[in-house]
Every structure is written in structure tokens, then in C-alpha cells.
Amino acid sequence: MRPSTTAAACLPFAPSRPALLALALLGACGTPTAQPDAAPDDAAVDEAPQGPADAPEAYDEVAPAPATAIDTDAAAPSAPPENAAPRRAAIPELRPDQRYTVVLVIQGGVGAARVGACGAPTDLSPLVHRLIDEHEAVLGCDVYAPSSWTVPAVRSILKGRSVYHAAPAAEDGPHALVGVMKAAGYQTMLLSADPAMRGAGVEKGFDVVRVAGSRTAMRYPYLSEALEQLLERADADRPLFLVVHTQDASDPLPPVPNKSWGLAQNKLMLVDDDGKPTDAWRRFHADRLPLDERQRFLLRVNQGITRGVELSDDDLRGILEVLQRQGRPMRSMRLVAVGDHGLFGGEHGLLGEASGTWEAGVRVPMLFLDTELHGDDRPDLDGPLSSVVAYDLVARGALPDDAPPVFSVSRAVKEGLGTTMVSAWVAGQPKLTWEDGTLSTYDLGRDAGETSPRSASGHPALGFVREVAGQLSARKGKDQGE
């Protein structure tokens, strides 16, 4: 298990002693463990949902594209890196009497450093522990998203490879995950709480698709009601493949009630509904916040992210409860839950969703449960792994025969939102990073905050990262994050 960063290392300034204590309680810009002594100025909130405007009727049904219109991405201008896509075995045929439910939950904004079972100081994800202890679920904590941006991260999971680097059809196959599952006999449904998924290509091939009409319309507790309505259209006698994309740990950050681990605060918006940064965001990046105000602001950001991770666990529990009520119990289920990417809480001077393959933005948890697999038959999720293997866990209940290289690409698409980066992870080696033309490595065991770059000479993934960076430069202006 990777050690967490120190509170000082994750911040772009030297915090005062009281602020350092508060941020340490947040788990070094992560999960809090105790309640500080004083509340932020605008702390008057309660446990209530965010208001009638956020009710579940504020989502839209999207007409899914035909199954034959599955997007396979054009090949990159230069030759793709060798083994950029894994080789995959055929999916086992369904038994005629099998009423099997396969669920892929993509948890928006949930980074591994915020999850108690992955080393965060306080466990705010009790369902994850219960699934591990009582149902033999397997958890991987050194899993890396292909991007720190939502759209390419989600599309990559549903394709089983990075959308930035298309592999030859003979290696990758012509179908996205939904096409493969439909060919195996499953009815397919997609429910997304992120309105950015509309028109992003992820809905292609699904039988039924519903996407939220606003950023908060399907957040907890409204997601369960939306799922109930979606499943009313399912054939109870047919196997079901269900994809749910939650958004509890995303901007705007949810309100925080009084908790044993933190203080009450209102919801916090970093970027408005039109995609424009808020005043606090601009002042933070322009370094115009006085030190005390900056510390209070980062405390609010990290508490909001932590609350979002807690609500993501609640939503996962709600999904399982809805399926149970719909006659799809866990005893006949395969479940994969994976973060799309993490959120920055001040690390490397970044906030929320931003460009950068730093650990805070791309290291995610991945949970696997299959009630027909026990003991050594379950996949080993010890990393480093790419989150694109969720494709294989969903389809076959196993990792691919040849695991894909573990790498992440993040393009700077807006000023102030980070830099263009490529990183690769190889077991037993330091992390290799290319940032705007500069290559370096980071020893994550000793330098979890990634503040001490070292020489990249001799790294086994050096040629691979150079090739990916070259392709990224060749595709400049394409495949942008959002």
C-alpha cells in the first residue's frame, strides 16, 4: 500500500501550524480524521439535499446510437506503441438458464488516496469494507486512469484502451465493451450523472441511455430514484449489463454537514455551469489569496472532496439496493467499481479536475466482486494496473492475457488547468513522467508528493513514453479533455 503524502507536501505553500494541523486531519489533502476547532465562515448547512431544482426529474433520456455505430477511434498518425492494447480471450457464453447481472460503476472524482481501504486516515467507505469482508470482493489501490479528464477516462474504460492511442483492429477488436456484452446476450443500459457524457460518444450502442440534465440532478440520494425508473424498462428475464456513472465527488463539491471528521460548510463551486472559473478559483491560481484565506479555502476544497467520496459509497450501496428490489440480488452478480480520476486539493497548485498525471489526479481505486469466484479464482489487483482492465473484469471476470502498459495522458486544455503530461508505471521502478518535453522520474515510496524529480536515464519505459508523447504532439488540438 502506497504511503500518503504529508500535509505540507501536498500544498503549494508553507502552511501555518493551525492550518497544517487541520490539513493533516484531512489526511494530507485527503480524508479527515477529526474535527478542527473552528468552522469556516459560511458553515451553515444541514444534511438536506441541494434543493428542488436538483430533483431527479431534471435528467434527460438520450437516444442511443445504433449498435452498429460503435466508435472505434481512428489510428494515431504515428505507429502505436507496441502492446498498447491487450490481447483478450473470448467471453464465455451465457447458460440458457442464467439470469446474470453485470454492473460497472464509474465513480466520478474518486481518487485512491481518499479511500480508507487504500490508506486514507479515516474510513468513510464502509460498504467497500463490507463487500471485501463478507462477499470476497477484491480491491486494487494502485490503479491508474488513462487521463485526469472525465471524458477520455470514461471512454477508455468502455473501450478497454486509451482513446488517445488506437491500436490495430486485429489486436483491439472492432467493438467497445457495450458491443461485446450485447453480442454475449446482455441487454445494456447506461445511467450517467454527468451531463458532459451527452454527446461524448459513450452512449453508442446501449439499448437505453439516461444522462443527467445538470451537474447535481443525479447526485445522492436522487441517483437511486433515477435508476429505479431506468430499470423499469429492463426485461426481468434477460441478463443485464448496467453502467452507472456517479458524480458525488465532483465539482460543485457537495455541502458538508457537521461530522466527526470535519466542519459544516456549504457546497463549493470551482467552475460554474458554463465552464467558467469562479472568483475563488481565479484568485487561488493568481496567488491573490492572503495566506489565512488560502488555507481556509483549501480546507473547504478538501472537505468537499472527502464528503463526495463518502457520498459515492452511499450511492454504490443505493445501486445494489435498487437492483435487489428489482430482483437482481448480489448472489447472481458481477460488480466492478472504479474511479474515473481523482481530484486535486491543492497538490501541485491545482484544484478539482485539472490536467496532470500526478498521483492525486490519476490514481484510483478499483473494486471487483463476482459471487461465482472464490479464493484464488479471483483476479489479483495488486498494481500497478491501468483502469482500462475494468473492460476485461466486466466482460470475463479476469484480467487480460497480456496486460496493457500502465500509462496516463493528460492534455492542458485551458490556461491555469495544469500542464500536458504523460506518465508510465512499471512494477519495481520509479514513476516515469514526461511534462511539456522534460523527462523525469519520481520514487513514490520516498517522495509520495512528487516534489523531487530524478533522472529518467535507463528507465525501461523510456522509449514507450517518448512514443506516446510524440503521438500526443502529433494529435495536438484533438481528443481534448472535456
Q: What is the pTM of this model?
A: 0.83
Instruction: For the chain, give the longest Cα–Cα distance.
Output: 66
47/67 Cα distance (integer angstroms): 42
What b-and-e string marks burial along 425-458, b requiring 16 or more CB atoms within 10 Å of the CB? bbeeebbbbbbeeebbbbebeebbbbeebeebee
Strands 187-192 and 431-435: unpaired
Q: Are 257 and 47 in contact (CB under 8 A)?
A: yes
> Can you read off the three cell numbers belonging to residue 218?
443525479
Any alpha helices (H) in 77-173, and if so which ranges? 126-135, 150-159, 169-172
> Can you read off the three cell numbers belonging to residue 232?
423499469
Domains of the chain as residue ranges with CATH: 17-413 (3.40.720.10)
**φ, ψ dihedrals at 236, nearest 5°:** -65, -15
A 10 A CB-CB count for 119 gives: 17
Q: Are 292 and 38 in contact (CB under 8 A)?
A: no
- Tens digits of pLDDT across the chain (482 residues): 443 333 444 444 344 433 444 444 454 444 333 343 344 433 333 333 343 333 333 444 444 444 332 222 323 323 334 335 666 666 666 665 566 899 999 999 999 999 999 988 877 899 999 999 999 999 999 999 999 999 999 999 999 888 764 333 333 334 689 999 998 899 999 999 999 998 888 888 999 999 999 999 999 999 999 999 999 999 998 999 999 999 999 999 999 999 888 889 999 999 888 888 899 999 998 899 999 999 999 999 999 999 999 999 999 999 999 999 999 999 889 999 999 999 999 999 999 998 899 999 999 999 999 988 999 999 999 989 999 999 999 999 999 988 778 999 988 766 556 788 999 999 999 999 999 889 999 999 999 999 999 999 999 999 999 998 888 777 654 444 43
